[in-house]
Structure 1
């Protein structure tokens, strides 16, 4: 085997859906990328279909329960802002960027999830200040490449407005263009979240979401332009992909409200959790139920009865209940006692206050208490697939793959740069690749 490309640029457009494909075909830069590309419009995502597990899957080729990133956030009952799976150490086994580095290639990652403290040459990890005493820039710089991030912040930091979109993606874009031109990394991972943000707060098919896709087209064009200006374009492979889709919602399920009422969660007068036996850990469209003591048979039996009782009435918003073993069979966390799936129009939160089921209002969304669209749902939901587009060196022209899985992306990317991710849950999509 030999390396099929000199430069691999992977661009993740968070929350890009199969349903967006007709729009992509009409936009100038996506249209240019698609000309002569191999692509799949029906990429099945993982369970739970949230950003951090998805991006860990993309670089490992494994399901969440195998690579270890089983949710966006850690199980920290009572913490109103749980820490995320920010750090590379949470991923079990190797990754695309680890193997590229071992093979002597230079690597870059810009806001790619689960890369804090990773061994990446030019690393600007996705991490945020989650303690009152922390400073955002300091937290980012300490978790990635210090001098590189200082330079990017000095050059382009004025573009950013905290973590707000679209300014954050505009900052990432300028940093990516500069990195391509000046650093020329062999493997580059770029994560844009503008579309995901707009869908969360304005809805799946909102004007704001469509505007974000148009901005993404411009961003793609700028990256392609930087490769051309640097003389790298003909030696490069560009991959544009999504990690999951999203579904609109109008009701929030707050199962922890019910668990507190039933005595399974204890809290003080301020509402802070002081102890718990069972806890609903949200993955937005799905949720894990964890027991504080995994051997607590009585609580497990009680929760099983409660969940199946709730399942009988559609107004409770629950579509299905899996036990931990069944969740594990779908690639999710088998250490959970249960995994529950929301009906369309519903999603789970970890709130302890108010009603068990809450109607989502415009005021809630403005206050960022709730969202109006989310992901995390089962990949078996209808119209919930994402996309994978590969174009350039090492890629066959005009091959349409009828369907593939998110776990197939890591092995396929690894094949392009001739590295081995070991035994993976996914396979190389050979049809795409020049032999």
Structure 2
């Protein structure tokens, strides 16, 4: 298969929504991509629409059920800070960066989810110190490319303030620009989370979120300039995309409180989970309901009756209950017994204490107990699509696709690089390509 481009630069602006499109049209660097290339402003995301499953989908062309990254965090009942799906081994099957590396291309990734320990030439994985005895830099070095990360930290580490935004994205930007100039990778994956953070803690349409979009435009411009300064701009394809949208919420729903009250979760005096028969695993706007013994028909019946009672009253914050099989048909984890979808204005937490529903206060948000906007909701929610825009080598000018799916992105990117992801859930969108 012949390559349509020499350098594929994929920039993920986490939580970029179709609703942002009118603003992007007015910003100079997004405008440059839109006017020069092709786009779809109605990309349907996956279920559950959270960051790690979305990014695994982008590089595999598959739904979560198939690629295996079915949530952001692992099922670890009662753990205050569960581990995330950080590592490459969580993804079943091949990826865009695996196939590019096999084809002899140079690969690079900056804070791209699920890339810890991946075979990427210049890799700064998204992973954080999740144990009291862990140090952030050591954890990053151990799970990525140590020498390259040390060089980026030496040059730009002063910019970063832990994981806080916008400083983290500014550090990632400088590392990306430097890597383009030094290494000229054939495949570059970069993940910016500034907008996602601002929407979580300030609300979807907050001034902080709008400021983040303007910062993203500046970041996009810096990357475009780096390609020009490196002499590879004419041989490059630039992709700017979102992974999901977000919805404002004002109430946090804690189904585990009711599961505990019904004797389905057992805790000690300190609130630590000793055992569980049923557990609600949050995906923010949706949640999996796992039953430890799925052959126990009595537990399944009890759980279903409890969920049906909750969904019958809209004040309980649950819009819909799916069986595991129905969730699997939408691409989610079919090993869950059930999946629940939050009603507008609600999202799910895994807390075991207090009330079943908490009204979110400014103090909650300040202390980062709760957020003001989240994702994870069904892609069928209204005004919940995201965006894909592409320009440069191999991309048609002024092709506007009315709609597509997140699973289509991986196969399309692979086609640009002259490689294949094999039998995927998505398809190559040839309407965007010159061939």
TM-score interval for Structure 1 and Structure 2 normalised by the shorter chain: over 0.9
- Offset from partner CA, 1:100-137 (integer Å, 9 cap, x none): 00000000000000000000000000000000000000
Residue in 2 aligned with 1:124?
Answer: 124
**SS in structure 2 opposite 1:180?**
helix
Instruction: State whether structure 2 residue 395 is matched by structure 1 residue 372.
Output: no
**SS in structure 2 opposite 1:401?**
coil
Residue in 2 aligned with 1:350?
Answer: 350
Residue in 2 aligned with 1:241?
Answer: 241
Matches within 5 A, 1:79-158: 79-158=79-158
- Offset from partner CA, 1:372-425 (integer Å, 9 cap, x none): 000000000000000000100000000000000000000000000010100000
Structure 2 CA distance for aligned equivalents of residues 333 and 154 of structure 1: 41
**SS in structure 1 opposite 2:36?**
coil
Instruction: State whether structure 2 residue 76 is matched by structure 1 residue 72.
Output: no
Gaps in structure 1 of 5+ consecutive residues: none
Instruction: State whether structure 2 residue 186 is matched by structure 1 residue 186.
Output: yes
**SS in structure 1 opposite 2:23?**
helix
**SS in structure 2 opposite 1:281?**
strand
* Number of corresponding residues: 435
Shift of 1:200: 0.1
- Offset from partner CA, 1:146-197 (integer Å, 9 cap, x none): 1011111111111000000000000000000000000110000000000000
**SS in structure 1 opposite 2:414?**
helix
Structure 2 CA distance for aligned equivalents of residues 366 and 296 of structure 1: 42
Structure 2 CA distance for aligned equivalents of residues 257 and 433 of structure 1: 51
Shift of 1:21: 0.4
TM-score by length of 2: 1.00
Shift of 1:294: 2.0
> Structure 1: which 4+ aligned runs deviate by more than 6 Å?
none
TM-score by length of 1: 1.00
Structure 2 CA distance for aligned equivalents of residues 56 and 36 of structure 1: 28
The CA RMSD over aligned residues, in Å, is 0.5
Structure 2 CA distance for aligned equivalents of residues 212 and 199 of structure 1: 9
Instruction: State whether structure 2 residue 75 is matched by structure 1 residue 54.
Output: no
**SS in structure 2 opposite 1:190?**
strand
Q: Which moved more, 1:288-297 or 1:379-388?
A: 288-297
Q: Which moved more, 1:291-300 or 1:165-174?
A: 291-300
Structure 2 CA distance for aligned equivalents of residues 109 and 300 of structure 1: 43
Shift of 1:78: 1.0
Residue in 2 aligned with 1:402?
Answer: 402
**SS in structure 1 opposite 2:380?**
coil
Shift of 1:295: 1.6
Residue in 1 aligned with 2:196?
Answer: 196
Gaps in structure 2 of 5+ consecutive residues: none
Residue in 1 aligned with 2:333?
Answer: 333
Residue in 2 aligned with 1:260?
Answer: 260
**SS in structure 1 opposite 2:388?**
strand
**SS in structure 2 opposite 1:31?**
helix
